[in-house]
């Protein structure tokens, strides 16, 4: 181990300052000596993935729980494999530090035709590609390394977006000065005048409203605004709904929570309560197609107050540099709490009264009954990860217990993302139970990371919904088309095939009785990975997905 303090060590220390304890990736000849620096640090663990795309997904899942993540790949072949995952992090505002080990600067300056290039002597093709999907980029040199590392990492943290660091193989070992100042500094705040103007405009609008409602989404979670949101909701007494991308940012058992809004596919009470509100306080929301049932929200834009992570916007008047939690704090301090009876609040807990559930042992398992059993299985503090498609739209309708974190990817929608993301989410917080819900088609794309889970001795609960193909695509187009078919696998055998020994349990369930027995055994076996193959009929799908399939089909015409 070298005693010289190096650029590579500086980068690793700054990542550690952000609380990163695990770094994901795949080794390659241009990053190997930097990996030596990583594994020399006792506070860091190198988590080696089966491929670079899975590493990017795992880092994304880690960041959604921990707040930020990092991954390392080699130049060219490795970083391009990861780019889809990084694009998803960019789309859904997840802070991930993408580090590429690249050829020596001298090699690049001389334009040598080395491996992992396009053979044209150019070395910036791939960094240009990353410019499109990251918020900041840099190539480190002896002269700029420490300043550039700090600049890029601050961008990642403050903008909640992925960044790209190109680390040439001859740079990371050069000497550097240890950091003297903390990486993170106080973000610039809005002026008192801006806050005063915002309050003078919005307080009368909100106080005048007869049917105000709060609509919250995923940016609340990204910018760590959950507590500020809770205080605002309780201070005002207003009802609150979320969109599915932000499901779980507010306690769904709370008496003011009225549901997950999805435009015209929302339950009648919820749709009417949102669409006819005369004041909608939108907090951390982006209205995208899959969470609004094809942009089918029915309210008027002029009734919406947009509280974004760093600004407030009302009728095109923007109040800049006001952090979300500060906006909510200031508004809550000026508004009087409304009486519940004046606000037409029907909590989800009353809208969806739980009927006694009786298992029909020999009855074939259906989507409807599966989701009812999952609802009863989810516990307080769980992490629920649902892949885009059958799993996401089924789980969207399941009420969550207090402090359940819900992870999905409805904007980017890269199927298979959630299995590696569960790996990352579990490593980010080993104290929480992780449930993965994934379809068979998505599972076939990224299943290799089960071997990483087994190697890391993790204990997620994995439900693979085996409905014989691409069900989302069947709902949109070509229900019997061969391109929506996939090869039937022996799914329950896969943990053993990937090296599992005594650290997993596997189940194949066709009936309600078999599934109920599996759930009971799972609850009694917390110290192993648990894998459940859930067999349902090919065209059996959640009711919401049936409706959305028709909407997306029309949208594609």
Q: Which residue numbers belong to the known binding site for Mg(2+)? A: 440, 467, 469
Alpha-carbon distance 446 to 453, whole Å?
12
Nearest to 468 by CA among 451, 450, 448, 443: 443
* End-to-end alpha carbon distance in the chain: 61
150 is catalytic: no
Catalytic residue selected from 49, 466, 467, 484: 467
Alpha-carbon distance 394 to 437, whole Å?
10
16 is catalytic: no
Alpha-helix residue ranges (DSSP H) falling in 304-409: 324-334, 348-351, 367-377, 390-395
Alpha-helix residue ranges (DSSP H) falling in 103-191: 105-110, 125-131, 145-159
Spatial contact of 120 and 76, defined as CB atoms under 8 Å apart:
no
**The pair of three-digit structure tokens given for residue 47, joined into one six-digit string:** 């988590």
440 is catalytic: yes
116 is catalytic: yes
512 is catalytic: no
- Would you call 470 helix, strand, or coil by DSSP? coil
Alpha-helix residue ranges (DSSP H) falling in 219-357: 219-222, 226-236, 268-275, 324-334, 348-351
284 is catalytic: no
Catalytic residue selected from 40, 110, 111, 115: 115
Sheet holding 45-48, edge to edge: 45-48, 22-25, 69-74, 96-102, 163-168, 137-139
Taken in order 12, 18, 19, 21, the sign of the CA dihedral is negative
Alpha-carbon distance 5 to 126, whole Å?
29
Catalytic residue selected from 22, 66, 116, 172: 116
52 is catalytic: yes
Compute how many other C-beta atoms are within 10 angstroms of the C-beta atom of residue 147: 11
Compute how many other C-beta atoms are within 10 angstroms of the C-beta atom of residue 478: 13
Residues near 127 by Cβ (< 8 Å), separated by ≥ 6? 100, 137, 139, 164, 166
**Helix H or strand E encompassing 464:** strand 461-466
Residues of each annotated binding site: 440, 467, 469
Catalytic residues: 29, 52, 115-116, 413, 440, 467, 469, 473
């Amino acid at each position: 181990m070298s005693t010289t303090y190096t650029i590579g060590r500086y980068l690793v220390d700054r990542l550690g300052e952000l609380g990163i304890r695990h770094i994901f990736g795949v080794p390659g000849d241009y990053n190997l000596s930097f990996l030596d620096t990583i594994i020399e640090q006792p506070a860091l663990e190198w988590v080696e993935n089966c491929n670079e795309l899975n590493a990017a997904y795992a880092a994304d899942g880690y960041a959604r729980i921990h707040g930020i993540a990092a991954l390392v790949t080699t130049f060219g072949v490795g970083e391009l494999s990861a780019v889809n995952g990084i694009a998803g992090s960019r789309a859904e505002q997840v802070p991930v530090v993408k580090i590429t080990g690249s050829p020596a600067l001298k090699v690049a300056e001389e334009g040598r035709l080395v491996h992992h290039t396009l053979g044209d002597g150019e070395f910036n093709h791939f960094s240009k590609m990353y410019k499109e999907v990251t918020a900041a980029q840099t190539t480190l040199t002896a002269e700029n390394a420490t300043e550039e590392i700090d600049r890029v990492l601050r961008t990642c943290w403050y903008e909640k977006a992925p960044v790209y660091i190109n680390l040439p193989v001859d740079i990371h070992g050069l000497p550097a000065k240890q950091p003297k100042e903390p990486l993170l500094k106080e973000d610039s705040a809005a002026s008192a005048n801006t806050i005063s103007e915002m309050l003078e405009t919005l307080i009368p609008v909100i106080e005048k409203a007869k049917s105000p409602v709060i609509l919250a989404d995923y940016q609340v979670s990204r910018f760590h605004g959950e507590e500020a949101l809770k205080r605002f909701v309780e201070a005002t007494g207003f009802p609150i709904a979320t969109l599915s991308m932000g499901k779980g940012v507010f306690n769904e058992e709370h008496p003011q929570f009225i549901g997950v809004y999805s435009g015209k596919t929302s339950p009648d009470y919820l749709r009417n309560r949102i669409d006819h509100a005369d004041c909608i306080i939108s907090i951390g929301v982006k209205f995208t197609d899959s969470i609004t049932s094809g942009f089918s929200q029915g309210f008027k834009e002029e009734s919406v107050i947009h509280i974004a992570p760093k600004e407030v916007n009302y009728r095109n008047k923007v109040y800049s540099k006001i952090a979300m939690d500060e906006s909510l704090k200031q508004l809550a301090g000026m508004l009087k709490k409304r009486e519940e009876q004046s606000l037409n609040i029907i909590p989800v807990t009353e809208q969806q009264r739980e009927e006694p559930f009786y298992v029909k042992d020999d009855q074939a398992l259906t989507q409807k009954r599966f989701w009812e059993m999952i609802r009863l299985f989810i516990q307080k503090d769980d992490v629920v990860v649902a892949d885009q498609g059958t799993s996401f739209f089924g789980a969207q309708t399941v009420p969550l217990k207090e402090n359940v974190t819900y992870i999905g990817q409805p904007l980017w929608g890269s199927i298979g993302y959630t299995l590696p993301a569960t790996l990352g989410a579990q490593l980010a917080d080993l104290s929480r139970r992780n449930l993965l819900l994934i379809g068979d088609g998505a599972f076939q794309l990224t299943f290799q990371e089960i071997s990483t889970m087994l190697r890391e001795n993790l204990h997620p609960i994995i439900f693979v919904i085996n409905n014989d193909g691409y069900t989302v695509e069947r709902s949109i187009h070509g229900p019997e088309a061969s391109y929506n078919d996939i090869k039937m696998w022996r799914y329950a055998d896969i943990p053993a095939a990937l090296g599992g020994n005594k650290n997993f349990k596997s189940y194949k369930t066709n009936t309600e009785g078999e599934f109920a027995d599996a759930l009971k055994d799972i609850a009694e076996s917390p110290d192993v990975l648990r894998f459940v193959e859930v067999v349902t009929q090919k065209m059996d799908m959640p009711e919401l997905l049936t409706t959305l399939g028709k909407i997306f089909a029309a949208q594609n015409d």
